[in-house]
Structure 1
Amino acid sequence: MYTTRQIVRKLVIGAVALAVAICITIFIRENMDVKDPESALPTLTVTMNGSAAMAPGSVFRAGYEWNFLTTTEKSTPVYSSADLRQVTPPVPMPSRTYLDLDFSIKPKSVVISRADDEKLEAFMELIDVGSGPIITPAATGLYMYRVEADFGWRGSIIYFFTVQIQNAGL
């Protein structure tokens, strides 16, 4: 029969061993993520009208600042509107389509902006979005969206995607 002291001792040793194993696992995972930070970053999936998702190549991750346990990785290149148009192929869709943003990790905050000028350079923040879906414009045209997601202490990421409204007024 075990004494109370022996039971407590075994429980403490087990808890310490479990804590050490968890710390080692986290350290190994973080070090692997630092070697390939692009694969460790959250992804954004844009769903149209609650069912069809945009192709993964349609959403472009333009820059990030991401904190790992041991280091901070930054990739903040400057893209011109022409560069962004090349890497974000327009996704054709009807007017007034509901777009839902689904992140692989829930962000602390999201700021969504849209450029609808001819050169797709003048981004205006969409203040009526809140936590609901984005509704695409009614007018025919090309629209580029910028999504700035803040993930708290982990960091922030900027995504871009472009939509082509084809049949306005339907």
Structure 2
Amino acid sequence: MRFFARHPADSDLITGLKADGLPRRQSEDRLYQKYRYLITDGVRKHRLDEDECASAYSDTILTVIENVRGNRFEGHSELSTYIYQIFTNKCIDLIRKKSSQRSQVHNALSLDDSLLQLPDSARSIVQQLIAQSDLERLRGLIAKLGDKCREMILAWGEGYSDEEIARQMNYNTASVAKTSRLRCLERLRELYR
């Protein structure tokens, strides 16, 4: 199928995203930077915090890249319209998820309340066991992500910036590394559930 872009820049981006190697990475970076303003719009319009909007935006860009490469974006609308709609849907999904989680919070007795009922010595032992169990679980889940995601998350956890991660892992730019890192973190969150 041949792509007929309504906007000439869309056509260049589509061609670049379908390429491999450096042209693809450059196009991914251009795409990410071009519509980055959606994060601020999402904060304002959907009343989500900036991290949530950045995560939704990163997921949006990755979805668009997958759809372009898989020929699922047919060019019936401008690329900006397509991206805006996907981003809006992802923000709405976050809002729904947050509101359903809030309703479940009221039905549970918190672990902190339960710990307060224990004597001090038992409480500290239980807290240590919980921390150790959480750490072991986290390590196991990170191992399931694969080598690239594991390396990226561990580097980020040790305080490396996205620029440093991009250099270490041969990403074209820090924003591409950030998009990949956020995608890995989202996969980790899904495994936690």
Q: TM-score range by the shorter chain?
A: under 0.3
Greater per-residue helix proportion: 2
User: Structure 2 length normalisation: TM-score?
Assistant: 0.23
- For the pair shown, the structure with the greater C-alpha radius of gyration is 1
**TM-score, normalised with respect to structure 1:** 0.25
